[in-house]
A and B are shown apart, each in its own frame.
Chain A
């Protein structure tokens, strides 16, 4: 066999080996990539199944929270409206009492009562106020 033919055969063999090696490497890489993609696809499907009902649940939570907020707001509004007349009537005597106390301020008049003694303090502690006139423990 001629040496030129031998060199040619060696060259062809090298080429075939190189092409085969690279193709095998590409096949191995693609197989690994496919396996990874299958894993990723499974994870994505699991995440999708997990997150699918979240929107409806969050909507429901938002509706409930909104209903609670409106409930609280309406309750506070009704309370404020029911308190308004009572406060208005309570302000009137308070203003008259303030005027009366202003006229009895120290230095503006004469003292007519003696200072309280210890006996008076004991009497106050022993006798509770009359029933039905307050919200203390004696009315329970």
Chain B
């Protein structure tokens, strides 16, 4: 019976705290990962609107082609005048 009480004391004073410490060491990184994931999601959501202007690049390309055509006409006109 005495050994059982000694075992109970060791169980309550050592085993349970050790289990709790080990589990906390697992939970703490998981909590940090969750915080980082929330942060990435929050800032990643702001990333997509900044790329909306990429859709206008096709318009820019077409405008540059038109400017080239007009520039060619302009140079030819200048040569005729000169």
Contact = CB atoms under 8 A, between A and B. Distances in A.
B74 to A, nearest CB: 8
Interface residues of B, number: 44
Contacts of A25: 27, 30
Interface in B55-73: 55, 57-58, 60-61, 64-65, 67-68, 71-72
A29 B8 contact: no
Given A26-B30, A71-B68, A18 B19 contact: yes
A43 B40 CA distance: 11
- Majority SS of interface residues in chain A? helix
A47 B30 contact: no
B68 A64 contact: yes
A39 B20 contact: no
A47 B37 contact: no
A83 B82 contact: yes
A50 interface: yes
Given A39-B41, A43-B47, A4 B23 contact: no
A14 B20 CA distance: 11
Contact of B23 (A22, A37, A43, A71): A22
Contacts of B82: 79, 82-83
A6 B11 CA distance: 13
B51 A11 contact: no
B37 to A, nearest CB: 4
Contacts of B57: 54, 57-58, 61
A67 B79 contact: no
Contacts of A23: 23
Interface in B5-52: 5, 7-8, 11-12, 15-16, 19-20, 23-24, 26-27, 30-31, 33-34, 37-38, 40-41, 44-45, 47-48, 51
A137 interface: no
14 contacts: A4-B5, A15-B11, A22-B20, A22-B26, A29-B31, A32-B37, A37-B37, A44-B44, A50-B54, A57-B58, A64-B61, A64-B65, A79-B78, A82-B79
